[in-house]
Amino acid sequence: METQYFQVDRHKPDKEILTQAARILVSGGLVAFPTETVYGLGANGLEPQAVAGIFRAKGRPSDNPLILHIAEASEVLQLVRTIPANARALMERYWPGPLTLVLERKPIVPDQVTGGLDTVAVRLPDSVIARELIRLTGLPIAAPSANLSGRPSPTTAEAVAADLSGRIEAIVDGGPCDVGVESTIIDCTTPVPTLLRPGGITLEMLMDTLGEVEIDPALSRDDLIPKAPGMKYRHYAPSAPMVLLEGEEVNVAAALIEKVRQAVLEGKRVGAVVSAETAALLPTEIQFAVYGHRRNAGEIANHLYNVLLSFDHNPVDVIYAEGISESGLGLAVMNRLRKAAGYKILQV
């Protein structure tokens, strides 16, 4: 199949162009589009055949449910049975934005979307392009990240094309995404809401509204089954094996430099995923990718997937990654780095 490309302005997208993209979605096709987090691969979320196309194009396991994206908060009522008070408080505060709520689903939501669960994940994105496109379809749009299953989520149209060109009907190019990691997922069907995936809305922000938040224990342990089925897969993985160093800032930097030196001496081609501060101290012969400044988790989140993808073009034997503090967006960054490393973690 030949993939069509549409270019639009991120703040003032051309309505004619988005209408063409919306028509493709309404007629059952697949369209990748930018959101404020990462690019999504959209399909008509009420049409099982269209949804099945997403799983085919991505090579995604069918037990991994999808998020339904809506254009207005009121549209959630069509999809879920009840909205508990704490879910309503989160919607009022953080929608539109990078927050996905898991709620009890209504029968209108196809099993293909929920992977057979009795809950559904819903999100109101903040991106003008995403909301306008969804609004023009008049439908809830099912949209996972627009990558091949297991690869890093795309934050540019080029990264979408590298994975999905020829496999989907169209790509809407609206430039790079703002946040760079996926939305936060919170399950609001439990008495105390449970964080299933850290993301663009931080744990501190959730606590500020809710007072208390459970954290799915599987987020920090490799041996438990996560409540968000997709979190069990080794995602975001670069092609080379990666080791993540965690601990105090200065110890991490020192240990990383030592590890890199050793590996170079062993004749390995070495890659490093590091802060600007640590990069300045590395031997010059290694392939390093800088994710930003150590204390600026927002900047790091924004660059993270591109940094991981950069090793596709520069093959190495091993990658060492520098861990950061888990405060703010750091929690989402560290969650993605741990998964990218396949939980090969060195505490220093």
Residues that bind ligand TXA (CB under 6 A): 35, 37-38, 40, 64-67, 98, 100, 102, 114, 117, 119-121, 123, 143-145, 182-183, 185, 196, 227-231
Q: Structure tokens of 210?
A: 């809710």
Instruction: Find how far residue 199's CA is from the centre of its chain.
Output: 8
Find the shortest distance in angstroms from Cβ 111 to ligand TXA: 11
Q: Does 335 bind Mg ion (CB under 5 A)?
A: no
C-beta separation of 137 from 40 below 8 A = no
Give the residue with the Cβ less far from ligand TXA, 255 or 309.
309
Q: How far is the CB of 229 from ligand TXA (least distance, A)?
A: 4
In the bound state with Mg ion, the residue whose beta carbon lies nearer, of 152 and 271, is 152
Q: Rounded CA gap, 126 and 74, in Å?
A: 15
Q: Please compute, for residue 241, the number of CA atoms within 13 A of its CA located in the half-sphere on the CB side.
A: 7
Query: Strand order of the sheet with strand 119-123?
Result: 4-7, 170-173, 31-34, 39-44, 141-142, 67-69, 119-123, 99-104, 184-187, 194-197, 214-215
Q: How far is the CB of 240 from Mg ion (least distance, A)?
A: 21
* R_g over Cα of the chain: 20
**Contact region with Mg ion (CB under 5 A), list: 90-98, 141-149, 193-201, 331-339:** 141-149
**Closest CB 293 distance from ligand TXA, rounded Å:** 24
Q: Pick from ligand TXA, Mg ion, none: which does 119 bind, CB < 5 to 8 A by kind?
A: ligand TXA
CA distance 171 to 17: 11
Q: How many residues bind to Mg ion according to rule CB under 5 A?
A: 1
Partner whose binding site includes residue 65, from Mg ion, ligand TXA, none (CB under 5 to 8 Å by kind): ligand TXA
**CB-nearest residue to ligand TXA:** 230
> What is the distance, to the nearest Å, from the Cα of residue 159 to the centroid of all Cα atoms in its chain?
13
Measured CA to CA, the distance from residue 148 to residue 10 in angstroms comes to 24
Q: How far is the CB of 257 from Mg ion (least distance, A)?
A: 33
Whichever of 107 and 267 has its CB closer to ligand TXA, that residue is 107
- 100 binding Mg ion? (CB under 5 A): no
Give the one entry of Mg ion, ligand TXA, none that residue 79 binds, where binding means its C-beta sits below a cut-off of 5 to 8 angstroms depending on kind: none
Nearer to ligand TXA, 190 or 314 (CB): 190
Question: Should residue 145 be labelled a site residue for Mg ion when binding is judged by CB under 5 A?
Answer: yes
The nearer residue to Mg ion, 145 or 275, going by C-beta atoms, is: 145
How far is Cα 206 from Cα 200, in angstroms, rounded to an integer? Answer: 11
Q: Helices 157-164 and 297-309 sit at what angle, rounded to 10 degrees?
A: 30
Q: Where are the alpha helices (DSSP H) in the chain?
A: 15-26, 48-58, 85-94, 111-114, 128-137, 157-164, 203-210, 249-265, 276-279, 297-309, 330-340
Cβ proximity to ligand TXA: between 229 and 342 the closer is 229
Residue 32 binding partner per list Mg ion, ligand TXA, none, with a CB distance cut-off of 5 to 8 Å that depends on partner kind: none
Pairwise CA distance, residues 210 & 193, whole Å:
8
Residue closer to Mg ion, measured from CB, 112 or 145: 145
- Binds 216: which of ligand TXA, Mg ion, none (CB < 5-8 Å by kind): none
Binding site for Mg ion (CB under 5 A): 145
